[in-house]
Structure 1
Amino acid sequence: CEPLYTPEDATNAIEHLFPQPYSKPFKIFDNVEVTFHDAGHIIGSAFTEINYSENGTTKKLMFTGDIGRRDIPILKDPVLIKDIDYLITESTYGDRTHPAAADAKAELKKVVDMICETKGKIIIPAFSVGRTQYLVYLLNQLYTEGQIRPIPIYVDSPLSSAATQVYSKHKECWDTGAVEFLINGQKPFNADNLHYTDSVQESMALNAMNGPMIIISASGMCEAGRILHHLQNNIDDPKNIVLIVGYMAENTLGRRIAEHRREVKIFGNYVYVRSKVVEIAALSAHADENEMLEYFNGCGASHIEHAFCVHGEKNALEHFSQSLLKAGMKNTHIPTPGQIFEL
């Protein structure tokens, strides 16, 4: 099938984009005002608040995008938006709960300790924006505190490296913990044992290196990028660990690995999964069911006339839709493609 857009289309679209700060309303039409609020998911993520007036009445619609979690290192907590009339919400983890975010650091230490025993490699598929920086920050903290050995850590993704520079540049988006880490003389995204690879040659050289070591690479769902080469070269070795740190969509290689399939197809060939597969759900940047309900209760769930559940698998959509009704929202709906609603 034909692509939805070309690189040229993307370049042309960029010319029509302009930055807009959080919490500053701006008009897109005479009767429509938009405000972005920090969603706490990744750097720059935003809730969209739309206030519109018609026939002397003003209504508020909120589109969540991805909802972040409270108390996640680096980023500030999601901003509460009050007096919502209509809601369009994600439902990614609408039918499950995560371990506490505070557990992630201890769980990560356990995995690093395991790889020091086997002298293998930890292969981590990670999203370039958000998850990679979260991992680097926690590993840096563990190393600085003397909780883990100073084994080499490689961030092997040019996009991840570029995104990390963006995080480093925008300290105004950091939470107090990250700021304090910096004040105490530490750099959250740099350490003596941390290396950012750039060239293909540097990436390929990692295959010949002996463990223990950690390789963080993209793409996060293992569908493209350098992570495929690292999986191909390491997933059949029982000394190694594949660490799952984020959501894996249906029908992706990442989902098949997370489901502990005995063999998976990489570059058209089946490979036996002999490495240990470990998941740290506490590292998720998406709010789970309880966290989303807590957020909406803080916003005033009973004030919401109609909620639309999107961005989730079938079970998550159906379950979360019912949970929102129980939370006091008056109506919920799971829209289908092309469906039109009049508010």
Structure 2
Amino acid sequence: MQIQFHGAAGGEVTGSCHLVEIAGRRVLLDCGMIQGSREAEARNLAPFDFDAAAIDALVLSHAHIDHIGRVPLLVKRGFRGSIWAQQATCDLLPVMLLDAASLAEQSAERANRDRADGEPEVEPLYTREDVEAARKRLRPLPYHELHEILPGVGVRLHDAGHILGSSIVELREEGAAPRTLVFSGDIGMTATPILRDPEPPPRADLLLMESTYGDRNHKERLATVAELGRIFAEAHDDGGNVVIPAFAVGRSQELLYWFAAHYEDWNLAHWRVFLDSPMAAKVMAVYDRHEELFDAEAAKVWRGRIRPFALPNLHVAESVDDSKAINRLRGGAIIIAGSGMANGGRVRHHLANNLAQRGAHVIFVGYQARGTLGRLLVDGVKRVRLFGEEIEVRARIHTVGGLSAHADQHGLLAWYAAGASRPPVVLVHGEDPARGVLASELTRRYGVDVALSQPGMRRDV
């Protein structure tokens, strides 16, 4: 068995994509979109570094766009195998990708409207028809059952506790000399609301491990929740709106969970709460269909008087007109909108309308990759350009790291230590120096051989 790294390698956290040659077949782990600066995202249009038609199967760790965003492109370019993923991931995937296709089509339409005479017509990265072609190849898997996806190739999924359906992938080569590769996907924090805790890694000959927060630890979750309450109290006194860029899957649902749990002590009845995402209702419906994946505490909350997805003052803005109406509000609104890194989606309109307001607050609750608008704001930039206008940043910017869906350094080390073996590690999905720090800690504590993935690097299992 041999693996080659084609994405989320070399100090990057997006574009997850790893090619495994196993039992004479070729299995791809994830096929994610590259996110960040305009130059980084332009790389999504480039040819794959492998022949898409020669891939026999695709296994997905979870439904975030940086792990699934190029799946329709893979199919468009010749992939004809099956796509294997946990059942909830299979339900979330078309929701996420149809939104991505719609954005790509709109972007191409705008570019073609503005192109000069003689310039070639711009094609979208993929279309909704391409998403449908990919959807037909989905093959859902439950957790914990070993399934032969190709002759001599077995897959078993374990709960990663990152988002609904997120999986640690156990890839096994059967035969006289069996070998096992384990891919962490993205590992969640323990005690994350709604989700069960990440399961320990199974025995492996090689472990691919994410390293997003390999050099830092999050604030305690309860302290983070208390911080949120203080921000809402300050924002209410300041009289402005609160804008929260959040991924449509995972973070948005967790925020609504905390809103339900603290509805009275945060005085949320004084606010109008908006979930502004065309995907929101569909994603919440998927969560409702998979309550069997919730932890015990979430099951209690879902049976409570105030349910997370049915807050008395929650408004789900699905249409463009609904979204535009929010922009007329100058105070008293909590606006949760995508995307989580503020690099696209409706949240950019809300930021354009609120960043210059001294009474406004902006709360970032997740990782902000290099080159994104979210990263610029978190780093303290004083002016930004949105929709052709320079906007002075007068709003208060908050970073609330304790709500991260990714395990921190302590969590990643504890997850590795809980495993059934002490395999060598290749770190993926991490910027420098985060992955370098994590590599040093793994070696110092457990004497393990750790490598840092690079694009095109090969490693025998």
- Shorter chain as normaliser: what TM range? over 0.9
CA distances 1:55-112 after superposition (whole Å, capped 9, x unpaired): x333321101110010011111111133222100111111111011222321111111
Match of 2:433 in 1: 315
Quote the residue 1:217 is aligned against: 337
Instruction: Please give the alpha-carbon distance, in whole angstroms, between the structure 2 residues aligned to 1:313 and 1:216.
Output: 27
Equivalences for 1:37-52 in 2 at 5 Å? 37-52=158-173
CA distance in 2 between counterparts of 1:149 and 1:317 reads 39
Residues 94 and 316 in structure 1, CA contact (< 8 A), matched pair in contact too = yes
Verify the 8 A CA contact 1:178 1:188 in the aligned structure 2.
Answer: no
The alignment-based identity, stated in percent, is 35
Q: For the residues of structure 2 that align with 1:43 and 1:341, how far apart are their CA atoms?
A: 30
Residue aligned with 2:458, SS: coil
Distance 2:284 2:235 in 1: 25
Structure 1 residue identity aligned to 2:303: I
Measure, in 1, the Cα distance between the counterparts of 2:444 and 2:285. 43
Counterpart of 2:363 in 1: which secondary structure? strand
**Letter paired with 2:422:** I
* Contact 2:245/2:340 (<8 A) preserved: yes
The match for 2:131 is: 10
- 1:126 and 1:30 map into 2 onto residues whose CA distance is 41
2:148 corresponds to which of 8, 17, 27: 27
Task: Name the SS for the 1:214 alignment partner.
Answer: strand
Structure 2 equivalent of residue 293 of structure 1: 413
DSSP-derived class of the 1:184 partner? coil
Read off the aligned partner of 1:167 and give its amino acid letter: Y
Amino acid at match of 1:338: G
What CA distance in whole angstroms lies between the structure 2 residues aligned with 1:70 and 1:329? 25
Q: Is the 8 A contact 1:307 1:329 kept in 2?
A: no
Instruction: Give yes or no for the alignment of 1:155 onto 2:293.
Output: no
**Contact 2:259/2:308 (8 A) holds in 1:** no
- Contact 2:172–2:181 under 8 Å retained in 1: yes
Which of 161, 175, 192 is equivalent to 2:295? 175
Q: 1:33 to 1:156 in 2, by over 3 A?
A: same
Superposition deviation, residue 304 in structure 1: 2.9
1:295: how far off? 0.9
CA RMSD after TM alignment: 1.6
In the alignment, what sits opposite 2:4?
Answer: none
Q: One-letter code of the match for 1:80? A: P
Equivalent residue, structure 2, for 1:85: 205
1:332 is aligned to: 450
Q: What residue in structure 2 maps to residue 280 of structure 1?
A: 400
1:306 matched residue in structure 2: 424
Q: Which has the higher mean CA deviation after the structures are superposed, 173-182 or 3-12?
A: 3-12
| Partner amino acid, structure 2, of 1:270 | E
Query: How far 1:205 sits from its partner (Å)?
Result: 1.0
**Distance (Å, rounded) in 1 between the aligned partners of 2:207 and 2:290:** 30
Do 1:25 and 1:33's aligned partners in 2 also have CA atoms closer than 8 Å?
Answer: yes
1:41 Cα deviation (Å)? Answer: 0.3
Deviates more, 1:127-136 or 1:8-17: 8-17
Q: Deviations over 1:154-190 (max 9, x none)?
A: 0011113321221122111111111111233432221
| 1:86-235 matched pairs, under 5 angstroms | 86-143=206-263, 145-150=264-269, 151-235=271-355
Greater Cα offset, 329-338 or 110-119: 329-338
Distance in 2 of aligned mates of 1:296 and 1:149? 40
| Matched residue count | 339
Amino acid at match of 2:152: N
**Is residue 271 from structure 1 mapped to residue 373 from structure 2 by the alignment?**
no
Q: Is the 8 A contact 1:69 1:286 kept in 2?
A: yes
Moved more, 234-243 or 199-208: 199-208
For 2:185 and 2:456, locate their aligned partners in 1 and report how far apart those are by CA, in whole Å: 19
Task: Summarize deviations over 1:12-44 as a string: whole Å, max 9, x none.
Answer: 222111111111110123332110111100011
Give the conservation status (yes or no) of the 8 Å contact 2:214–2:434. Answer: yes
Kindly indicate whether the alpha-carbon contact (under 8 Å) linking 1:306 and 1:329 is maintained by their aligned counterparts in 2: no
Q: Distance in 2 between matches of 1:93 and 1:156?
A: 28
The answer as to whether partners of 1:68 and 1:78 remain within 8 angstroms in 2 is yes
What CA distance in whole angstroms lies between the structure 2 residues aligned with 1:41 and 1:305? Answer: 22
Q: Does structure 1 retain, via aligned residues, the 8 Å contact 2:240–2:330? A: yes
8 Å CA contact 1:168–1:189 kept in 2: the answer is: no
Q: Once the 2 structures are TM-superposed, how far is the Cα of residue 292 of structure 1 from its aligned partner?
A: 0.5
- Of the structure 1 ranges 190-199 and 125-134, higher mean CA displacement relative to structure 2 is found in 190-199
Please state whether the residue corresponding to 2:141 is helix, strand or coil.
Answer: coil
Residue 125 of structure 1: CA displacement? 0.4
Q: Distance in 2 between matches of 1:210 and 1:237?
A: 9
Between the aligned partners of 1:329 and 1:189, the Cα distance in structure 2 is 46
Contact 2:259 2:268 (8 Å CA) reproduced: no
Classify 1:14/1:249 alpha carbon distance in 2 versus 1 (closer, same or farther; 3 Å): same
Change (3 A) 1:177 1:305: closer
